[in-house]
Chain A
C-alpha cells in the first residue's frame, strides 16, 4: 500500500543527501577567510542598503490569496478529471457551472483592477 510512495521518499532522501554533500564539501574543504564584504548579503554585486526586512506591498498578499482560491478550484478538478469519461455530458455541465461561478468572480477581480500592479 505504501509502496507507491517509495519513489517520492527516495527522491526526498536523495535531495537531502545531495544538498548535504554540496554544502558539507564546501564547508569541509573550502578556505575560510572571513571578511566584512563576504558576510554581506549578496545582491548581485550591489552594496545593499537599508534593512533587509522591509514591509512588502499588500499586493503580494492579494495575489497569494487569489492563488489559494484558484488552487482550491484546481484541487476540485483533479478527481473530476480522473473520472471525466465515465461521467459524460452531465459531469461536464456541472463542472461548467462550477467554473462559471468562479469565472464571474475572476472577471470581477480583473475589472476592479485587482490583478494589476500599480
Chain B
C-alpha cells in the first residue's frame, strides 16, 4: 500500500464522523475530508429549527472549529466537488482539476434534494432547505413574506411550517400523501402532528397534487393544484424528499440500488471503498431487510463503524435507528423502524399528555414513537437493541416499568 492514506468524500455528519473516529482511534496516516460546501462542516438539524427561527446564528452551527482539523491533521478540502472517481488507479479528480490519490476511500456523499419539476418551479420565491446557503436564503426571504406554502408533509416541511407559524406567517402545507409523515410515522403520530399544526393555525391539505407555481413578474404568487384550487403565496418551500447521491459510485461501477450497496462492515462492491450515511444501503440485522436511513444518528454511527472497519474491526453494523423532530413544544422521538407493523399500542394519554406508540410486527416490538416521552424513547432504544419485546399489555400499562425488563439482560 502507498502512503496516500484515506480520503473521505463528503463532509456532512457521516464524513466528519469517519474522520474523527479514525483520529480518535489512533489512525496516523494521511487523512483528507472533502466537502462541496465552502464552509467548515456544520450541523444540519438546526437549519430547519433554531437557525430558521432566528434563534441561532451561523457560527453556532459549525461543528468543530478550524483549529480542531489542524490539531488532528485532517486535510479539510472545502468548497470542492469531486468530479470523477477512478477506482482502478485510486484517484479522485476535483472540480479544480486537482488530483487526490487514496489507498482507501469512504463515500459519504449523502443525498440530493428532489426538485419540483412543474411549470413555474424556477420562480423567485421558491425555496429548498438542505444546505446552509439555502437556509440562509430562506431565512432572509422570510422577513418579507406573509403567506407561506409548504409543499410536502415530511419532517423538513413540518419543522419549517412550525417555524413559519411561530414567526406569525400564514402557513399552508400541501401534502401529496393521505397523512403527514407517511413514510416514517404511525397513524396516531400523524394524527397528533396534524392536530398540533391545526391548533397553531397551519392549514394542512392531504392527498393533493400540485399542478404548478403561479408567477407574477417572475416571482411566485401562488401554488395551483390539479383539482383547480389555488393557494396564494409569496414564499414557497419545497420539501418533497431526497435521493441518495450515488453518482460517483455509479460512475466507478460500484453496485447501487437506491443507495450505494454496502455490507455489514460498510464495504461497497469495490475493495477498499466504503460508504456510510444517507447514501448507503445495507441489510439491517435487527430488521432482516435492506434499509437506507436518512438520519443524523445513522450518519454518525455508521461513520464510526466505517472507521472501525478501516482499522480492522469485523463487527456487523446493527445500531438501532432513531430519529427526532422538534415542532412547537412537541418533541417527537422515534426508536426503530415502524414500516410493516401490524399492531399499535398506545402508552400514555394520546389526547393530552405525553404518549408513545409501540409498534409490533408479529408480536415483536419493532419501533416506538413518542411525543414528549423521552424516558419511553430511551428505554425503547435499549429494548430494541437487546431484542426485548414487552407484551402489548405491559406496554400499554403506565404502571408497568419498562426499564425493569432491561435489568434481566
Does A pair with B? no
Q: What residues make up the interface of A, taking CB atoms closer than 8 Å to B?
A: none
